[in-house]
Amino acid sequence: MFPTLSSAATVTLKREFGHEELVQWKIPTDVNHGDATTTISLSLGKKLGRPPRDIADVLVKDLSQLAEVEKVEIAGAGYVNVW
């Protein structure tokens, strides 16, 4: 699901943090949380000992450059929501 987002996020996390796991996206149950959401920043933050919002911020900057992305935001402790 969401192969373009997964590929772009995976490339960003590998480049910035050395993380090589494919980023998984889910469809949020609340439409106010976008069309896709991921918690990768929370799990990666725990693995790397870094604040999840710092990791999410890097994803937001890169994913917002994609033509098919209308908006990207950080929610809560480090969820990344995409429209």
The span from the CA of 25 to the CA of 40, in Å, is 9
C-alpha dihedral, 61 to 67 to 71 to 75, nearest 10°: -50
pLDDT score recorded for residue 21? 86
Phi, psi dihedrals of residue 81, rounded to the nearest 5° = -110, 135
pLDDT, one tens digit per residue, over 37-82 is 999 999 999 999 999 999 999 999 999 999 999 999 999 999 999 9
HSE-CB of 19 using CA atoms within 13 angstroms: 22
pLDDT, one tens digit per residue, over 3-34 is 999 999 999 999 999 998 899 999 999 999 99
pLDDT score recorded for residue 1? 77
pLDDT score recorded for residue 75? 97
Q: What b/e sequence results for 53-78 when a residue is b if at least 16 CB atoms lie within 10 Å of its CB, and e otherwise?
A: bebbebbbebbeeeeebeebebeeeb
